[in-house]
Amino acid sequence: MAIIQAEKLVKAYGLLPVLRGLTLSIERGEFVALLGHNGSGKSTFLRLLTGLTTPTGGHLTIGGWQIPQEIAAVRAQIGLVAHRSLIYEALTAHENLVFFGRLYGLGGRDLDARISDLLGRVGLGKRAHDPVRTFSRGMLQRLSIARALLHDPAVLLFDEPYTGLDQTAMKALDRLLLEAHGGGRTIVMTTHQIDKAVQIAQRAVIIARGVIAYDHRTDQLDAASLAAEYARVNS
Amino acid sequence: MIPAAWAIFQKDLRAEWRSRELLSAMLLFSFLSVFVFSFALELQRDILIAAASGVLWVSVIFAVILGLNRSMAAEREMGNLDAMLLAPIDRSAIFVGKAAANFLFGLIVGVILLPVISLVYNVNLLDLRMVGLVALGTLGLASVGTLLAAMTVQTRAREMLLPIVMLPAILPILLLVVRASNGVLGLTPEEFWVGIPALLIVLDVIYVVMCFLLFSYVLED
């Protein structure tokens, strides 16, 4: 059964249409990479999934809940890792996670145990009480993943997570993405990295001019053929 | 809503305790205003006394605007406002938490300015009634300011836009607190200001309720 269902989704900013009738269905537990040029509508689609922006037309549901009508129920099911960290630099890693945990209604010993576990999993256990402003870009991204996983969401959304990362940080991110997916979560990731899409995701979807221009499973693909399709649909 | 608002309030205080960016800038700016006005008024005692309450409130208002701009910009810079909006909380909780923190910062600046202005302008503002007026005035400023800062932070010219939209909106508060402050200083006959604190309470209730109800809409896309 589809956990994310978009039907003829339209989003326009003023008179400028960004999504022009996008239809996409994502199964529970799938790992989908969304590719496309800048301005193709990838990030707008992700923002629609989070409820941070509302559709101009069409239907969008997550877990059967309508967006934007039932957005509170949707928000409890999603976690977002954006290219900006969504983290407070003045606070420590632990304080950030305590704050966001409380916004999700978590607290007490359960929250502390969950934070210790997550910080350990993202390799920041020893830096838990350091101010975030001393963290590198890679560490911020890992902390951002811990924040997104805090409330154990069913759907994880990644908006260009590889931006600004070096090779080591990229490898660490690959490991964390696969680990997060291993728990049966649905993952939707926008990226410009065609090789990463083939390597990690189960399905590659190309958005061009506000609609789905290509949709294929990655087990029957290599990076070169996906790059060729990418060039074709964007030509 | 209360636990989320409390968490946001505590987060703002903790972040300020760590960075000390907001209060130090607000205090420095307000001290400079007080001194610049005293020089501009050429240190003439009678003029200074008459101007003291006006200087107090202009300094508080501009310091609060400075703090509001910084406070909301900090939420915007790393996308933290989006992170809060992603949480399954009532958006009004964000207003309550942020407005409470902004009120506290404004109150601290206002209360610290009382002895400073008393010393520089040779007047006696060290009066519990003045502290009460600072609290009532700052409450209105913080609630209107938090709402307007949430609107203007989404624009490119936010630093310019906030004072432009905020100053007309807070004019009724300014008129009332200056008159009441002059009354406390003995510059206005009692019958002209004794009812003003009650009027300020009513105005604060209207502002707080209106801003609380409108806040969710200003965060809409």
> Which positions in chain A touch B85 (Cβ < 8 Å)?
52
Q: Which of A86, A102, A104 sits opposite B79 (nearest CB)?
A: A86
Confidence (pLDDT) at A166: 82
Distance CA A68, CA B174 (A): 40
Domain boundaries along the sequence of chain B: 2-218
Return the percent helix, strand and coil in chain B, to nearest 5.
85, 0, 15
Domains annotated on chain A, with CATH = 1-77+180-235 (3.40.50.300)
Q: Which residue ranges of chain B lie beneath pLDDT 50?
A: none
Q: Determine the pLDDT at residue B221.
A: 66
Residue B122 is predicted with a pLDDT of 86
> Starting at the edge strand that comes first in sequence, how are the strands of the sheet with A2-13 ordered?
A16-27, A2-13, A57-62, A65-66
Considering only alpha carbons, which residue of chain B is nearest residue A103? B4
Question: In chain B, which residues have their Cβ closer than 8 Å to the Cβ of A100?
Answer: 83, 87
Instruction: Nearest by CB to A72, from B10, B18, B88: name it.
Output: B88
Query: A86–B80: do the CB atoms touch at under 8 Å?
Result: yes
> CB neighbours of B177 closer than 8 A, spacing ≥ 6?
B53, B57, B133, B136, B137, B196, B200
- Angstrom distances, CA of residue A73 to CA of A82, A166, B86: 21, 36, 11
* Interface mutation target, options A88, A129, A134, A144, chain B, most CBs of B under 10 Å: A88
Nearest in space to B18 (alpha carbons), one of A100, A97, A86, A131 = A131
Residues B81, B217, A11, A154: is their CA dihedral positive or negative?
positive
CA-to-CA dists, residue B156 to A86, A166, B220, angstroms: 20, 31, 17
pTM for the model: 0.89
Q: Which of A50, A82, A103 sits opposite B84 (nearest CB)?
A: A103
* pLDDT tens track, chain A, 235 positions: 789 999 999 999 888 899 999 999 999 999 999 999 988 899 999 999 998 899 999 999 999 999 988 888 899 899 999 888 889 999 999 999 999 999 999 988 899 999 999 999 888 889 999 999 999 988 998 899 999 999 989 999 999 888 878 888 888 888 888 888 887 899 999 999 898 889 899 999 999 989 999 999 998 888 899 999 889 988 8
**With a CB-CB cutoff of 8 Å, which residues 92-121 of chain A face chain B?**
95, 99-100, 102-105, 107
Cβ burial of B21 (10 Å; 0-12, 13-18, 19+) is middle
Average pLDDT for chain B:
91
CA distance B153 to A60: 29
B82 near A86, Cβ under 8 Å?
yes
- Residue indicated by tokens 């209106």: B210
Q: Is the preceding omega at residue A68 within 30 degrees of 0, hence cis?
A: yes
What is the DSSP secondary structure assignment for residue A215, as one 8-state letter? E
Q: Which two tokens stand for residue A159?
A: 């908006």
pLDDT tens profile B69-96:
888 888 887 788 888 999 999 999 999 9
Query: Which DSSP state fits A69?
Result: T
* Chain A residues closer than 8 Å to B14 by CB: 90-91, 95
What is Dmax (Cα atoms) for chain B?
Answer: 58
Q: Are A19 and A187 within 8 A, CB to CB?
A: no
Q: Nearest C-alpha of chain B: how many angstroms from A205?
A: 25
The tens digit of pLDDT for each residue in B45-71 reads 777 888 899 999 999 999 999 999 888
Distances (CA, A) of B98 to A27, A141, B91, B104, B145: 39, 26, 11, 10, 10
Residues of B in contact with A80 (CB under 8 A): 82-83, 86
Chain B CB within 8 Å of residue A1 CB: no
The CA-based diameter of chain A, rounded to the nearest angstrom, is 55
Q: What pLDDT, on the 0 to 100 scale, is given for residue B43?
A: 66
pLDDT on residue B178? 93
Alpha helices in A38-149 (DSSP H): 42-50, 71-75, 93-103, 108-121, 137-149
Half-sphere exposure (Cβ direction) of B176: Cα atoms closer than 13 Å: 22
For residue B118, CA distances in Å to A86, B109, B113, B133 come to: 44, 14, 8, 16
| d(C-alpha A96, C-alpha A86), whole Å | 10
Is A16 part of the contact surface with chain B (CB cutoff 8 Å)? no
CA-nearest of B119, B132, B140, B114 to B209 is B140
* Residue among B44, B194, B35 at smallest CA distance from B119: B35
